[in-house]
Amino acid sequence: MVGGIGVKTVTNRQSILDEKAVVDSIHFKNSSGSTGELVIVGTGATNPLVRVVFRNCVFERTERMLAPFWIRVAPGARAVFVGCMFSGGHGAGLIVDNQAPNVATDVHLIGCVNATGVLAGPVTSTGVIS
């Protein structure tokens, strides 16, 4: 379990999660030295055991970012975002790169805020404010 105090705990490097995890109250933000996706869930061709819950996190992408996605979910991995905020992006990309053969039911956004101006991607959204 990875947890912060409120969203005052900021990481400005790419985070890779390759196991089961609960991530709580972390502010993911890119920097000039980290311009890819903010978070990668699972690596490799198949990730049947990677399951991640993000609670109360902030995902902020700046204009310097080169990747068109905030989060990449690898094949077979699953992720749930509860009460999270997505911001920045400057009108390009998708929030989640949900890689094939994943289906929308493998990634859920529940009670989140999409302040990016872009679509969430192939995900299941419930109670998401745009």
Q: What is the pLDDT of residues 6-36, one digit of tens each?
A: 657 889 999 999 999 999 999 999 888 888 8
Q: Is there a contact between 23 and 55 (Cβ–Cβ < 8 Å)? A: yes
Domain enclosing residue 46, as ranges: 2-126
- Return mean pLDDT, the chain: 89
Q: Is there a contact between 41 and 50 (Cβ–Cβ < 8 Å)? A: yes
* CA 10/CA 27 separation, integer angstroms: 5
- In the chain, the number of structural domains is 1
**What average pLDDT does range 47-51 have in this prediction?**
93
Residue 3 has pLDDT above 60, yes or no: no
**What is residue 4's predicted lDDT score, i.e. its pLDDT?**
58
**What average pLDDT does range 58-79 have in this prediction?**
88
Question: What band does 77 get if pLDDT is binned at 50, 70 and 90?
Answer: very high
Residue 2 or 91, more confident: 91
Residue 84 has pLDDT above 90, yes or no: yes
**What is residue 33's predicted lDDT score, i.e. its pLDDT?**
83
Q: What phi, psi does 60 have (nearest 5°)?
A: -120, 120
Q: How far is the CA of 64 from the CAs of 7, 11, 59, 89, 113, in angstroms? A: 22, 16, 15, 9, 22
**What is residue 63's predicted lDDT score, i.e. its pLDDT?**
67
